[in-house]
Amino acid sequence: MLFGKQSIGVEINPGGVTFAALSGNPRSPRLERVATAPFPAGTLKMSLRELNILEPERFVETIRAAHNLLISDRKRISVTLPDTVGRVMLLDMEGRFKSRSEALDMIRWKLKKNLPFDLADTHLDYQELTIRENGDMALLVALVSRSVITQYEELLLTAGFTPAQIDCNSFNLYRAFAPRLDQTDDLTMISFYGGLLSIMIFSNGTLEFQRIKDLSGSTGVDSRVFTEINSSLIVYRDRFPERAINMITCVAPPEIAPQFCGMVEEAVGGEPVLMEVKSAVVAGNDAPADQQALFPYTAAIGAAMRSL
């Protein structure tokens, strides 16, 4: 299948760009092709406030080169970026909102002292998760610098693509395994991907706790990671002492996966299930099928799942 209906996911990180082309449906996705190309040194530097793409021409050339390897004519893409580009947080708000614009104003007011960006340059969005027993609304709030995200959008358009959605790796890692994970209402997902540790805890099908920590330079199985997992779980248990941590899942590079799962088991006190992307997709004739080759495309595959 070279030019059939496909969904294209693209992960962009300082090392390079990866493409994943999926067909089929969300319950049975078929991986048609993958492609990758490295960025020349100094092309990209992740930052909350400063423009990330330091060499726009090199960025555009590399994106086009990777897409050429994909052998696809589809230019509408779903993009995933490292979580360090923005901020995602869980926020409790009192009362009700009369409109979406009022909600955004109230969220900005509540966060104004803690915003990591200039308020005038902040793109803010939210999703209502649940109403708590005390009547508060639990919200998932996403913040990103307008200038940072606009640069990505404009240069992707220059490269000839239409970025349909842009979001973060942590959510796309979940999305890659969603057909399986969505079957469980109470779930803990702990991942180490691209130097970032992500902890997501769901209760009754609702995201209740999330922590993202940049641990660049870590091996993924050292004391820094264990300490962060342990301290995050202490915070969660202090806030929700009545909650039990039930199904535990892990995502980690194949070369450290057994040790990472062992470390998670020690910290959580329960045996985790290793999630492997090779089991989440059916590999087509032109796609790799082994976990070692597929793992670097996990976030791109998750992004592609958005449009299936």
Residue 191 has pLDDT above 80, yes or no: yes
Asked if 67 and 17 sit in the same domain, the reply is: yes
CA separation for the pair 163, 86 (Å, rounded): 17
Q: What is the mean pLDDT of residues 180-202?
A: 95
How buried is 93 (Cβ within 10 angstroms: 0-12 exposed, 13-18 middle, 19+ buried)?
A: middle
For the chain, percent of residues with pLDDT exceeding 70: 99
Asked if 137 and 39 sit in the same domain, the reply is: no
Are 248 and 268 in contact by the 8 Å Cβ rule? The answer is yes
Asked if 73 and 154 sit in the same domain, the reply is: yes
Asked if 134 and 232 sit in the same domain, the reply is: no
Q: Find where tokens 């294209």 sit.
A: 8
Residue 193 has pLDDT above 70, yes or no: yes
State the DSSP code for 120: G
Report how many domains make up the chain.
3
What sign does the dihedral 228-230-233-234 (CA atoms) show? negative
Asked if 30 and 78 sit in the same domain, the reply is: yes
CA separation for the pair 254, 242 (Å, rounded): 34
CA separation for the pair 279, 291 (Å, rounded): 9
Of 130-139, 152-161, 189-198, least confident by mean pLDDT is 130-139
Q: What is the mean pLDDT of residues 221-237?
A: 96
Asked if 133 and 201 sit in the same domain, the reply is: no
Q: What residues does 128 pair with on adjacent strands?
A: 139
Residue 3 has pLDDT above 50, yes or no: no
Are 118 and 112 in contact by the 8 Å Cβ rule? The answer is no
Q: Establish if 135 belongs to a structural domain.
A: yes
pTM over the 0.85 mark: yes
Per-residue confidence (pLDDT) for residue 117, from 0 to 100: 76
Residue 7 has pLDDT above 70, yes or no: yes
Asked if 205 and 78 sit in the same domain, the reply is: no
Give the residue numbers spanning the domain of 14: 7-84+146-174+280-305
Asked if 124 and 30 sit in the same domain, the reply is: no
- Specify the CATH number for the domain of residue 21: 3.30.420.40
Asked if 136 and 151 sit in the same domain, the reply is: no
* Helix 298-305 vs helix 169-176: crossing angle, to nearest 10: 80
Q: Establish if 72 belongs to a structural domain.
A: yes
- 89-127 pLDDT, tens digit per residue, is 999 998 778 888 998 989 988 888 777 778 778 899 999
